[in-house]
Amino acid sequence: MGFVADEQMDATAWVEILSKRVLMVTDVSAETVHGGAERMLYHHLRALVDAGYEVTVLTRQPTPDAEVCIELPQFGIQEFRFPFSGDKGYKGLKELKSAAKQWWKHHQDEFDVVVSEQPFVMWALLKAGCKLPRLQVCFSFAFEEYETRHALDMTWKHKLAITAMRKLEAKVYQSADNLMGLSKFTQDRMTHFFGVPRQECAINPAAADKVESKEGQGLKIEQRDTIREELGWNKPVVTTLRNLVPRTGVDLLIQAAAIVKKTRPDVKFVIMGDGVLKDAMQKLAADLGVSDMIEFVGFLPEEDVQKRLLATDVFVLPTRGLEGFGLVTLEANAWGTPVLATPISANKELVPTIIHNQLADNVSPLALAEKIIWMADNPLGQEQRLRTQHDAFRQYNWQKHDQIFLQMVESLAEGGA
């Protein structure tokens, strides 16, 4: 295992690779972008297809009634889906294992290398006998995510599930030929949990790009005032985009809003996203007397998300823990919007590298509130937002990411892992 990037190789050189067949294994679908995992999958598929690889996606059904094979017209490739009830326990693993055994029996001669983005479908494929050279990408660890989701209702069954998931992930990561993470935080945890030497997990930061409107005209920072008027935003606005689960810390932001209200009652908070804690978060806002300041908008279409990232004054990442990279930081910075984040995990690596971003002094509502008030009192002008945008694209762009990613795939295709 191990990989060293060739810094002299330009990503465009990969267009000559026309015969290698890649199986992209993932636990999410490439059909629609819902979050960071799907966005990374989209860009990795884009890079492989543009480089001339013949690619097939293998995943599990996103819902029990979803089709088991679809076309992905944006790439001109197929996505196969294992039948999956959605069960997150032993039953679900048994379903994946059974489906993988049958699928691999009929398709094992159709691929040269595997790129895997998450652990569960890959684990089933290993159980089915897949021994192809593999690049394993790691964004976060499933057992840690599961542990944080059940931190408040932990039972012995949850503890058993966490132990089993950690063992499953160990098999997937330790058996990979090449490993790639997005941050030093992930690299360090790969070593801590699974004993993988740091030098054997390459760090390849992600990037972000703008989304064009339906009319085909890309949004621009110069349109910000128009978008704000369209949204009815005539006061300072603070937004976040999070799954409403314990680790994302949205409760910290709501508590911070109560502190902000004492000195800046004009500040509006917009919370994009949904999750198991939505009702609890809305109740918390009501109990703290800030329901009038906070708008819960749920999941929004991609274009509506991008408009709010452009129009907002401050984007907040109030994470309690396990931020493996924080792609949404770059999505906000891509619109020139400054980001305020808690000083944990990969936030400490990414957020301070871009001009005008801020880290809170600690992980607390008071620390977030103090920075929000300061940033509301000192809003960025258009020229400052353009500098933030330029700084983000200069340091974190898909050309840089693609170069390392494609080199790692090709090192497997050539038997150089």
Domain boundaries, the chain: 11-207+397-413, 221-395
3-state helix, strand, coil in the chain (%, to 5): 45, 15, 35
Average confidence (pLDDT) per 10 residues, the chain, 417 residues: 53 51 96 87 96 96 95 96 91 95 96 96 97 95 81 82 91 96 94 92 87 54 92 96 90 98 97 93 97 95 92 96 89 95 95 98 97 97 94 93 95 69
What is the pLDDT at residue 252? 97
CA dist 225 → 77, 221, 333, 374 (Å)? 40, 9, 17, 22
What is the pLDDT at residue 1? 58
At residue 256, the 3 state secondary structure works out as helix
Instruction: For residues 152 and 160, give the distance between their C-alpha atoms in angstroms, rounded to a whole number.
Output: 16
Token pair, residue 100, equals: 């993988």
Options 3.40.50.720, 3.40.50.2000, 2.30.110.10, 2.170.150.70; CATH for 11-207+397-413 is 3.40.50.2000
Say whether 221-395 and 11-207+397-413 share the same fold.
yes
Name residue 179's amino acid: L
Instruction: For residues 284 and 261, give the distance between their C-alpha atoms in angstroms, rounded to a whole number.
Output: 15
What is the pLDDT at residue 144? 83
What is the pLDDT at residue 210? 57
What is the pLDDT at residue 97? 96
Name residue 116's amino acid: S
Looking at CATH, the fold of the domain delimited by 221-395 is given as Rossmann fold (3.40.50)
User: Which of 170, 57, 65, 83 lies closest to 123 in space, CA to CA?
Assistant: 170
The enclosing H or E element of 56 equals strand 54-60
Buried b (16+ CB within 10 A) or exposed e, 363-397: bbbebbbbbbbebbeeebeeeebebbbebbbeebb
User: Which of 228, 275, 252, 267 lies closest to 363 in space, CA to CA?
Assistant: 252
